[in-house]
Structure 1
Amino acid sequence: MRIRRQHLTQGLGSLRAWIRGTEPGLVVLGAVVGIASGAVAASMSGIAQGLHTLLFGPEVTHGLSALRDIDPDLALLMPAAGGLLLGLINLGLARWHPRVPVDPIEANALHGGRMALQDGAVVAGQNLVSNGFGASVGLEAGYTQVAGAVASRTGILFGLRRGDLRVLVGCGAAGAIAAAFDAPLTGAFYAFELVIGTYTIASLAPVITSAVVATLVARLVHGQTYVVQPGGVASPGWDGYALALLLALMAALAAIALMRGVSLVEAVLKRVVRPSWLRPAAGGLAVGLLALLSPGVLSAGHGALHLAFNTEGTARAALLLLLLKALASAISLGAGFRGGLFFASLLLGALLGKVVAAAINLAGLGLVDPLLLAVVGMSAFGTAVIGAPLAMTFLALETTGNFQVAGAVLIAVVVTGLAVRRLFGYSFATWRFHLRGEGIRSAHDVGWLRELTVGRMMRRDLRTIAADTRISAFRRDFPLGSAERVIALDEAGRYAGIVLVAEAHAAPDETEPLATILHHREAALLPAMNAKEAMAAFDAAEAEAMAVIDGVESRRVLGLLTATFVLRRYGEELDKRRQEEVGLA
């Protein structure tokens, strides 16, 4: 029995070493994560659909937002009830799980791909309550949170390096989005653009594997996953490309207004509804009032998007739903419902495209295919909000199967992305980070820079002397060659400056006391500074070395750091990150 256990341990150790040390090993983990991601997306989708049926009635077959005759009492009260439940859940979390969950983008940008399974459970629960009770939010945030957390814990279990762990978190996000839309390429490039932050040959195989496997798992569970199927879209001519450019600019402006609107609603509710746990209920009541005008504002909007693509509606109805859905989404997120704008942005873009097409046709400027502009608008609006132009292009390609349509979409998403960056500077995810005070704009790994702190780099074996010591005594205690720099302390033991040993020996004999030749009396480093901040301090003080103190008030000396060493460590870490990006680590 003991020998068998030893063989098992050795076998597991060999498997772990193979996975950590080879590219095929990472692909195998990508497949495992893909299985988990597909199961997560299918399970959460099924639970949400079950909640819709339970709360709103058995008529919810093709999506809550596709209902035409909804009970007014249910439409009005269910989102408010869900908001109240969510508020109570948040009260409990504030007491027993107070930390803010780290999503995959933030994890890869700041934490080297480390995520907690508890955060995934929290976000998934909040997301299901929000969506299940009809708030105007999608489930994609929950999908990617749980899948990313599972991927992160799997990578940590196998001891993956920082770069590989970030790729595996991307595999989780890719699998989740691919399973949600039955679109492997969309999921993969969502991961490359938003979660990993770059595309490399080394990361291609595991991410694609995860996306494909997750899609197959979701099909196996559901029979089929939700698919955006606009049907036969006409190939665009020159006029189609011109209208795609116009629609791209309109989508950019509308998306910026929507993102600003979320922040505005949040600010207004903070003033009007003081208790934070009541804000989701207040927001839910407002969404319910909008649902009385059009049930299409409820939930993510799957049914409404299906109707927009497959039925001929009036321009007035499309415009009304466009305005109400945008308002409902802003209210839901501003009130604190958990979810995202991924699917809402697709629906809003499709509606915007149909409204523009109807306006052009009514103005007598020519006949325009509403379905073409709906697909272009869907991808352009999604790019503006989500910030993943290639993912949105592949979504159009995988749902229409028309390469010429994908060409018009590609032009539109490029223009939309450029306009949003110039006029606003953020996607919705990075805008939320900005509001929280985080300075990240993508998933590019900047966490290593934050970890490269003065406290970790400084030397602690420093030598000190009292600032009132005479130079003659200093020369006796510190002969030439014994040290390069000595830290001077005042009578209270606080930092007073730096003495250069060579300068002390070169000073005239009558120069007394030591305090007359001290350098950088006021300039010092703090242990929490990162390498970039430290170099800025070196430049400002024009110093080659600086003391590290514990605080501005106490000024107790902790160590010494040189600019040369900071530059060397920064260069080493930067080289590591570059090697990881190209798969050479």
Structure 2
Amino acid sequence: MTPRPILTRVPARARLLARARLLAKVPARARAAVRGSEIGLVALAGLAGCVAGAAVAAMQGATQVLRAWLYGLPPGMRLSASHDVPALTLLLVPAAGGLVLGLLAHTITRAIARRHGRRPHAVVDPIEANALHGGRMSVRGSGLVALQNMISNGSGASVGLEAGYTQICASLAARFGASFELRRSDQRTLVGCGAAAAIAAAFGAPLTGAFYAFELIIGTYAIATLTPVVVAALCGSVVARALVDQPALVTVDGLDALTSTAITGADTVPVLGLGLVCAGLGIVIMRGVTLVEAGIRASRIPAPLAPALGGLCVGALAVAVSPQVLSGGHGALHLHLGAHGAGMGLGGLALLFAAKATASALSIGAGFRGGLFFASLFLGALVGEIFSGAMPGLAAFAPTPLAYAVIGMSALAVAVIGGPLTMTFLALELTGSFPITGLVLVAVIASSLAVRKTFGYSFATWRFHLRGESIRSAHDVGWIRTLTVDTLMRREVATVPVSLPLTAFLTDHPLGSPSRVVAVDGEGRYAGIVRVPEAHAAARDADGPPPGLADLLRHADDVLTPGMNAKAAAAAFDRTESEALAVVDGPETRRVVGLLTESHTLKRYAEELDRQRRAMLGETA
């Protein structure tokens, strides 16, 4: 089984004491300045960006040193671009890294179980933090995730460091926000600032980092969040560049290497096809990770040994196919996006794609920590190269094979990670070519739309779905998850026993009284809703003995629960064609706890939509 992440929660009293100590270190005047001023929030975002840039540089340097030590790499050599590493080293080092990772997780899990008597809680990532926890994250748990990510990537597992970057940087930004007692919306914005700075620092691409935060962490673009997020991304990028040399991913001289002629509207036709191909392959990759995880669980391999087995399989792929399947793939992507490419034939590219996709699925499925951000970029570049070589007639269009590699890189990354504008700006900042960026936008829109309509999830939200969460984006949060039936329903609900004679019911509920009455059975369980006018009409029109209440019940099987959100409740009203539904405590006990009307639900839903619209425009009233 996959090693479980590490504890992020502490007892309530300890949390209160820690919070008191934290606030004591921040002067009240400073807290008030940040809470009450947009400039104060921007300054805090800039600080978070600088810290994030330093953290990313430190992780990059430490991981490169680890790879060089384990594999005997010369200075500056990337693992996935190396050619002379001994086969035995390629085979065994990933397995050894997996064993260390598995034993580390097992040791910490046992220590927590002895101390607290329970298994550790899962570490909250930035998307989940903003969607469910108001931007609250654990620095200690996030630091451990970053360490596990460094061990995984440094030992050669086919995962990127971007997950560790965003985890630790977002948690540090969240800690800054907690220190200043920021409001919920500002706290969520600051978590987005940390993630934006992390991605901007990793790629030297501030716009990419900013839109990563808008699309994937905060969940929406708003005028009020523009300045702090962009400032954080700029600060992160500048600090990381000052500390670490970052060579460009795309090494081309001018635009001649990307286009053979001027780009026209006809050039979008093959680009659309490439986007759809990338969408299908992205879904296959995400499903593949799930299948590997299911296979690991079914094999009943001890949890500490699962990463070692996965590492052994990844090492075998590196020996059999190419070292390009190892680690994140930065060096390999440099080879393929260089001015002369990697010089591989179609068969070699297809084999490398299959091996890299398999290695990534094995790494994550077996329990290595990391994500598919950079792996999806590399895989997309391979798809673009294969597409340009395999599709007949592409020579008649303007894009060159290198351009198709850039387009495929963005399109497949969108399919797996999400964020169409994020990947579009990444292509722009890497190439500096506006014509190619236009074609990238076409491909990512096609890829994003196809995945959304056929699969419905990105890699992160797919894993939330497998855990039982309904998060599909960071925008699921916010307000729609907190506007629940429990907060909307009327709690004072009079009930009547379903065995009550109709004449007694009519006496107690004359015309003009509330038009709906909830009926319960002999055990107090919900039985249905009786409409008072219908009950009077039934008694008046009856030729013989009046019917019983049981004959007049409506919506006996249609109920709401307190945990449902307003969107789900509105859908229930549409499905049942009812203007009011009873709220029960659960599907088993069916104890009536309230009543909710469609009109009140839609009114509150509209009010929240309007509030969100004003927030996006930066309006305070």
TM-score by length of 1: 0.85
Q: Distance in 2 between matches of 1:556 and 1:245?
A: 54
Match of 1:264 among 291, 301, 306: 291
Q: Distance in 1 between matches of 2:573 and 2:342?
A: 65
The answer (yes or no) to whether the contact 2:153–2:161 under 8 Å persists in 1 is yes
Which has the higher mean CA deviation after the structures are superposed, 425-434 or 164-173? 425-434
Partner of 1:171: 193
- SS class of match (1:315): coil
The answer (yes or no) to whether the contact 2:530–2:554 under 8 Å persists in 1 is no
Partner of 1:228: 249
Amino acid at match of 1:452: L
Matches within 5 A, 1:514-533: 515=549, 519-520=553-554, 522=556, 524-533=559-568
CA change 1:307–1:536 in 2 (3 A) is closer
The answer (yes or no) to whether the contact 2:499–2:550 under 8 Å persists in 1 is no
Partner of 1:346: 377
Find out whether 1:206 has 2:233 as its counterpart: no
Partner of 1:138: 160
Match of 2:433 among 402, 425, 441: 402
Find out whether 1:576 has 2:598 as its counterpart: no
Match of 1:32 among 47, 68, 74: 47
The answer (yes or no) to whether the contact 1:163–1:581 under 8 Å persists in 2 is no
Match of 1:306 among 326, 334, 337: 334
Q: Distance in 2 between matches of 1:354 and 1:499?
A: 66
Displacement after TM superposition at 1:334 (Å): 2.4
- CA deviation digits over 1:335-355, x for unaligned, max 9? 222211211122223334444
The answer (yes or no) to whether the contact 2:262–2:398 under 8 Å persists in 1 is no
User: Which blocks of at least 5 consecutive residues in structure 2 are unaligned?
Assistant: 1-22, 113-118
CA change 1:452–1:376 in 2 (3 A) is closer
Partner of 2:458: 427
Displacement after TM superposition at 1:297 (Å): 1.4
The answer (yes or no) to whether the contact 1:361–1:367 under 8 Å persists in 2 is no
Which has the higher mean CA deviation after the structures are superposed, 21-30 or 475-484? 475-484
Which has the higher mean CA deviation after the structures are superposed, 402-411 or 32-41? 402-411
- SS class of match (2:53): helix
Displacement after TM superposition at 1:327 (Å): 2.3
CA change 1:21–1:373 in 2 (3 A) is same
Q: What percentage of aligned pairs have identical amino acids?
A: 53
Amino acid at match of 1:225: Q
Displacement after TM superposition at 1:435 (Å): 3.4
Q: Distance in 1 between matches of 2:531 and 2:414?
A: 57
User: Which blocks of at least 5 consecutive residues in structure 1 are unaligned?
Assistant: 1-7
Amino acid at match of 1:308: H
The answer (yes or no) to whether the contact 2:388–2:394 under 8 Å persists in 1 is no
- CA deviation digits over 1:217-242, x for unaligned, max 9? 212332x3354242315342257946
Partner of 1:83: 98
CA change 1:16–1:368 in 2 (3 A) is closer
- SS class of match (1:68): coil
Which has the higher mean CA deviation after the structures are superposed, 208-217 or 429-438? 429-438
Find out whether 1:548 has 2:548 as its counterpart: no
Partner of 1:4: none
Q: Distance in 2 between matches of 1:47 and 1:558?
A: 56
Partner of 2:124: 102
Amino acid at match of 1:569: R
CA change 1:533–1:281 in 2 (3 A) is same
Displacement after TM superposition at 1:93 (Å): 5.7
Q: Distance in 2 between matches of 1:146 and 1:380?
A: 27
Q: Distance in 1 between matches of 2:409 and 2:29?
A: 48
Match of 1:290 among 310, 317, 321: 317
Displacement after TM superposition at 1:575 (Å): 2.6
Q: Distance in 2 between matches of 1:367 and 1:568?
A: 53
- SS class of match (2:593): strand
Q: Distance in 1 between matches of 2:589 and 2:451?
A: 47
Displacement after TM superposition at 1:214 (Å): 0.5
The answer (yes or no) to whether the contact 1:41–1:143 under 8 Å persists in 2 is yes
Q: Distance in 2 between matches of 1:165 and 1:14?
A: 19
- CA deviation digits over 1:543-568, x for unaligned, max 9? 54444333444443433434333333
Displacement after TM superposition at 1:286 (Å): 0.6
Q: Distance in 2 between matches of 1:518 and 1:366?
A: 70
The answer (yes or no) to whether the contact 2:249–2:430 under 8 Å persists in 1 is yes
Q: Distance in 2 between matches of 1:107 and 1:66?
A: 36
Partner of 1:61: 76
The answer (yes or no) to whether the contact 2:26–2:179 under 8 Å persists in 1 is no
Q: Distance in 2 between matches of 1:94 and 1:63?
A: 33
Partner of 2:483: 452
The answer (yes or no) to whether the contact 1:233–1:372 under 8 Å persists in 2 is no
The answer (yes or no) to whether the contact 1:273–1:279 under 8 Å persists in 2 is no
- CA deviation digits over 1:276-323, x for unaligned, max 9? 443222111111111213222111111222233345542235554333
Match of 2:305 among 278, 286, 293: 278
- SS class of match (1:558): strand
Which has the higher mean CA deviation after the structures are superposed, 46-55 or 454-463? 454-463
Partner of 2:148: 126
CA change 1:61–1:566 in 2 (3 A) is same
Amino acid at match of 1:334: G
Amino acid at match of 1:456: T
The answer (yes or no) to whether the contact 1:315–1:358 under 8 Å persists in 2 is no
- CA deviation digits over 1:167-217, x for unaligned, max 9? 222211110000001111111122222222322322221111010000112
Q: Distance in 2 between matches of 1:580 and 1:177?
A: 25
Partner of 1:3: none
Displacement after TM superposition at 1:511 (Å): 8.6
Displacement after TM superposition at 1:477 (Å): 7.8
Partner of 1:315: 344
Which has the higher mean CA deviation after the structures are superposed, 462-471 or 137-146? 462-471
- SS class of match (1:52): helix
- SS class of match (2:337): helix
The answer (yes or no) to whether the contact 2:526–2:591 under 8 Å persists in 1 is yes
Displacement after TM superposition at 1:505 (Å): 9.2
The answer (yes or no) to whether the contact 2:282–2:415 under 8 Å persists in 1 is yes
Displacement after TM superposition at 1:577 (Å): 2.6
Q: Distance in 1 between matches of 2:599 and 2:412?
A: 48
Match of 2:208 among 186, 190, 197: 186
Which has the higher mean CA deviation after the structures are superposed, 359-368 or 241-250? 359-368
Q: Distance in 2 between matches of 1:522 and 1:366?
A: 63
